[in-house]
Structure 1
């Protein structure tokens, strides 16, 4: 809208009175010298005034912008005073990003089988997402998201990528609850993909793994330790399982007659039951442990009713000065050994790791879990890991796939 009758100079120097700028905008100067802007309009046959703020804080240009905004509301059939009141009320009721993030984590708690997963969500959204937490969730924009991602995008690519996805999830939840509108500023495809390096250019970290050739000597040293955590680590190696699966193992999951350990769906990463054929060495260990069992857990902790701590096996590695090695890395060692040294098909090795193989159509037809083929594989792995027994596998021939 074109400029009116007032100038910035006049707005600052006029004497007490009322001064019109046009289109309903007035400057009201009190006898005390106080100056304020008002928008004068007619609503339902009654002349009404809407305050636009003090003149010492709101410039003439800003007052005109507010007037124009109020006029558009009026033309749209709404009382601008009521519209502003409702907007302020809605804004006051908007949750902060932090409150929305905490609520989302709480609602998703039942989805996560591993407490570590929840802890990662909490940590990233609390620590790395700290600059966002106090902001109303509807005020988070692309600039806000980039401000927390850019400092770690190249330095900690995996963490940054997960943080981005979690911010996107929080904002999606806010939109679903009516607290936001418009596109998600944390979306990758078609948005942040144009503003940050592509995922392919980032380096993905891998769990540090011991070379499989070193396993027999390592197992020999491991057996010199009588600690329960050392036995847990050996069983973890022999079964190629994950930390939480071993430490959370219950006696009810072990079938001594069939020599099978079944990890229930709620404790596996893929969310489906995982049957593990137990090698001769694994069975010997479990039978020995069963003679001294004190509760439901195979590896009970010091606190009644609780298993060993998630850090128990990691601490064994530290005490053994196994630098650059992680518990999870033994799964990689197993996979490298199976692929490099045995004739077992890739699908059998992947099934042993409880990995999903093939697309959805292939999975629909692949109903079995190759238990007996995996039994032969895990027995061979146990023999390989046996101190001074690593050469047992050399007799395998890569071309002899039918024997697998």
Structure 2
């Protein structure tokens, strides 16, 4: 049995960066997620059921401490005890006894995410959960979770409530969920109001956000985009497929309406829009996500000519009015087709780590800065492909 233990060492751990599960033996694993999170996990199987017990982040818990904690938990299991339940009981002292401030918001949030993120298929969503709380609620993370109050939540939200409206909504919702989970674990008084609750609470204390993003083209908030896409995909009309393609590629409506099969490369998964159809007059290569390829395959005739319009009607491009009328029928008439480019830009800027120049390139915006123009000429197509994959994954949530 001893030979199966202590497979890892400090140097190996430091050098390992690829996402995956790396065993030390005895059920102790180093888990590295796609978002770069590195945590210790003890895996046990009892009665045919697999259980995972988080032992902390690698940055906070040394290999030696992780092994000691794993050994202690294994001993408890051998004795018929449940180390996970015992730890929860320690974190939640009896109401008549001690204080409820035994754990910080940040520690509990990390533990909570470890326990629930396994059910989230989207790696981007997992990364966003951690990054929003880290970037927009740093002071709350330091606080004892029992002490977080309305003023603390307001202090985190007010700086971004109007200028980063969708991000602020997500931050509020995530703080609320963490605090609800803490109450369920006995770390907050059970009769207390959640200070991040919206109805009847923060809704009365924060200014009303504009429903639409400001600008020449009305844009749907990106928080509403997945719901909209689900409704759009339920429609069989050709104009619905054209609008879906436009959104997936963050293209201008005219570019999508005039797309020909000769511009589409299904093997390299690219759409090359010639300069004479681009606003800036320069050829633009659009990486096609898997969702975009699947959509194209669903509308592709058996042997299309290169000059055939992908979303055409009787050999000619559809009118932009067809998509505008579709939005109206779907009761999204307040948004515009072009506005979905702003939806994409807001999502990419608020919710991802992609550099601004890459996002601008995806939108085929004219770039004035010399360094950024060099970036455009560089080999950024692979990174833009991943950006569009992440966008498609977000829209499918």
Larger Rg: 1
TM over 0.5: no
TM-score range, shorter chain: 0.3 to 0.5
Q: Could you tell me the TM-score, scaled by structure 1's length?
A: 0.43
